[in-house]
Amino acid sequence: MSGHSHAKTVAHQKSISDQQRGQVFSKMARLIAIAVRDGGPSIETNYKLKIAIERARSFNMPNDNVERAIKSASGGLEGKNLSEFIFEAYGPGGTALLIEGITDNKNRVLLEIKQILSQRNGKLAQEGSVRWMFERRGVISILLDDQPEQWKNKEALELKAIEAGAQNLVWRPDNFLEIHTTVDNVQSVKEILEKDNIEIKSSSVDWVAKDEIPVEESARKNMEKLLSDLDENNDVQDVYSNLKD
């Protein structure tokens, strides 16, 4: 939730249901299809596809599913009628939202998102009125508990991330460290960390809030419901907010 992607928060949950898993795999297949359509089926030359596959694997999507999605998109079966979208919105307590997704019908998904927002004290915003509150950043997520003994110390892990090229570090609940980089450097920073046996949970290019804002408990609970409702929409890939943890 908060300044990072709600979908990645879902990915970190250990008790994801079979229904959620199936929906997530479907969303990842669309993400892969768009990447293949735009840049071809080779991860050596298509960085967007490489990121999409890494993200799919962060959700434990089986290799067979990944390969099938690439093959379908390469044959033109998937991705032809899909388009990406980003909607700007206001949520409970004056929070700002960016809602990203992939759809085969923008008019339909626009109406669906409007309805979800209105049910949770949110509303769509005019183009440009929210996006300036966010900036595009590479985001690498690391779970402290997954690291070898050498890197279980927070200070040591932080210093290594800075040496690797991190621009900013944010600790999230449950010992998750978010490493923010420039868009161009996310892959090189990830590779440097992996060479030192640091396990990466996920890496991607996201919208990161410039400033996070606190809200009252009632607005926070409403926001949690809103984020879950948006995440359940089949066309929504990511939801970013400036809600402070």
Q: How far apart are CA 61 and CA 68, in angstroms?
A: 11
Q: Which of 128, 90, 94, 104 is nearest to 34 (CA)?
A: 104
Assess whether the region 83-132+212-241 and the region 134-209 belong to the same CATH fold: yes
Task: Decide which of 3.40.50.150, 3.40.50.1370, 3.30.70.980, 3.30.559.10 is the CATH code for 83-132+212-241.
Answer: 3.30.70.980
| Alpha-carbon span 21 to 13, nearest angstrom | 11
What's the fold here for domain 134-209?
Alpha-Beta Plaits (3.30.70)
* Rounded Cα distance, 52 and 171, in Å: 24
Average pLDDT, the chain: 88
For domain 6-74, say whether CATH 1.10.10.200 is its number. yes
Sequence spans of domains, the chain: 6-74, 83-132+212-241, 134-209
pLDDT tens digits for 96-126?
Answer: 999 999 999 999 999 999 999 999 999 999 9
Q: What is the pLDDT of residues 54-86, one digit of tens each?
A: 888 888 899 999 999 998 888 765 666 889 999
pLDDT digits (tens, 9 = 90+) for 190-205: 999 999 999 998 888 8
113-167, pLDDT tens digit by residue?
A: 999 999 999 999 999 999 999 999 999 999 999 999 999 999 999 999 999 999 9
Pairing verdict, β 123-124 and 134-143: unpaired
Going from the C-alpha of 169 to that of each of 38, 126, 146, 186, the distances in angstroms are 32, 31, 18, 13
Q: pLDDT tens across 168-181, in order? A: 999 988 899 999 99
